[in-house]
């Protein structure tokens, strides 16, 4: 095992895949000479040269479209969005072309491409730089949507995403890039569509992904002192979703709280809640509960930002509510 930061684990995954397969290349704003806006691609230009680590113009729609075309003719692009707030500019290419090409070409064109970059709030970046977009993209047939909560998962899931023959949306977090954790020294592949139980428990299931997993783990740690054993589940892939893992946990704990950094309406959490009540209704001893962002644009002020996002002090009362604890 090696101790790597999240950014180092992602950079190692890309580097190993570019060594393994000469068809893999990286493109995006500042990925080459600046070593990446968040230094995820540090050293890759020196190793692979400007034909495989490519600085793009400030035109997300343009270089996303170039990536889709490259994938259609047999290459395997990694397209970095400096932030998914900017990636919204590329939704036409992602949704109308990458996602639909295999279907519209009657199977003639695979689009093996990864669109990756930070998603959600960071720190005092305000309304236009704090959006969480997974709910939008999980509604698009043809896309796989992947998240990760630590360096090891980021490494294993990104390698699998690069090898996948379908377009993959890989959602990172700016707040996690400096997070350190153990990463296997040997090749570590995590299949897409397979979730992970981060903490076993018997009283209530907490479902969270990306940086909300750490919030769930903090809640579980605090409640353990009160005799409450929370099971913390990370789906990792939001599309395809490991529904059976979720259902099995609910059948064990009979209670569930979904924690997500998004708005409640039409979100991934709302889909999970619907599936649980549909397939596990008789197993539930309490209503399905959710904790999400408050429905306001993200403020700039740090104190107000914390009031919008799910924090431990807002999550624990909801967990106690489903447990009928005072």
Whole-number Å distance between alpha carbons of 319 and 326: 11
254 classed as catalytic: no
For position 124, what pLDDT does the model report? 87
Which tens digit of pLDDT belongs to each residue from 102-132? 999 999 999 999 999 999 998 888 989 999 9
Q: What gap in Å lies between CA 231 and CA 207, rounded to an integer? A: 8
Out of 16, 30, 129, 229, which one is annotated catalytic?
129
What pLDDT sits at residue 288? 97
User: In 3D, which of 297, 324, 304, 273 has the Cα closest to residue 129?
Assistant: 297
Q: Which of 72, 75, 127 is nearest to 105 (CA)?
A: 72
User: Domains in the chain and their CATH numbers?
Assistant: 2-183 (3.40.50.970), 196-322 (3.40.50.920)
Q: Which of 29, 60, 134, 231 is catalytic?
A: 60
For the chain, which ranges sit under pLDDT 50? Answer: none
pLDDT of 50 reads 96
pLDDT reported for residue 29: 97
Contacts of residue 107, defined as CB under 8 A and 6 or more positions apart, other chains included, come to: none
At 255-294, the pLDDT tens digits run 999 999 999 999 999 999 999 999 999 999 999 999 999 9
The verdict on whether 60 is a catalytic residue reads yes
pLDDT given at position 34: 96
pLDDT of 199: 98
């Amino acid at each position: 095992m090696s101790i790597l930061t999240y950014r180092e684990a992602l950079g190692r995954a890309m580097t190993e895949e570019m060594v393994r397969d000469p068809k893999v290349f990286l493109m995006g704003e500042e990925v080459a000479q600046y070593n990446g806006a968040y230094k995820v691609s540090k050293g890759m230009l020196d190793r692979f040269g400007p034909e495989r680590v490519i600085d793009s113009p400030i035109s997300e729609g343009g270089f996303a479209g170039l990536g889709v075309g490259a994938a259609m003719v047999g290459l395997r692009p990694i397209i970095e969005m400096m932030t998914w707030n900017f990636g919204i500019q590329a939704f036409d290419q992602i949704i109308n072309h990458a996602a639909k090409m295999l279907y519209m070409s009657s199977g003639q064109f695979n689009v093996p491409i990864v669109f990756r970059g930070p998603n959600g709030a960071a720190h005092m970046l305000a309304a236009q730089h704090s959006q969480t977009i997974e709910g939008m993209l999980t509604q698009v047939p043809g896309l796989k949507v992947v998240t990760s909560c630590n360096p090891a998962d980021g490494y294993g899931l990104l390698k699998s995403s690069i090898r996948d023959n379908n377009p993959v949306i890989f959602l990172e977090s700016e707040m996690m890039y400096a997070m350190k954790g153990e990463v296997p020294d040997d090749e570590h592949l995590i299949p897409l569509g397979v979730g992970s139980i981060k903490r076993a428990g018997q009283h209530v299931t907490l479902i969270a992904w990306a940086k909300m997993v750490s919030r769930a783990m903090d809640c579980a740690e605090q409640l353990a002192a009160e005799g409450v054993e929370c099971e913390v589940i990370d789906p990792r892939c939001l599309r395809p979703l490991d529904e059976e893992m979720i259902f099995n946990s609910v059948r064990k704990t009979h209670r569930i709280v979904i924690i997500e950094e998004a708005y409640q309406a039409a979100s991934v959490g709302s889909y999970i809640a619907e599936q649980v009540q549909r397939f596990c209704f008789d197993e539930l001893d309490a209503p399905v509960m959710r904790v999400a962002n408050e429905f306001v644009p993200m403020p700039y002020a740090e104190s107000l930002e914390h009031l919008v996002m799910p924090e431990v002090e807002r999550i624990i009362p909801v967990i106690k509510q489903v447990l009928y604890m005072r």
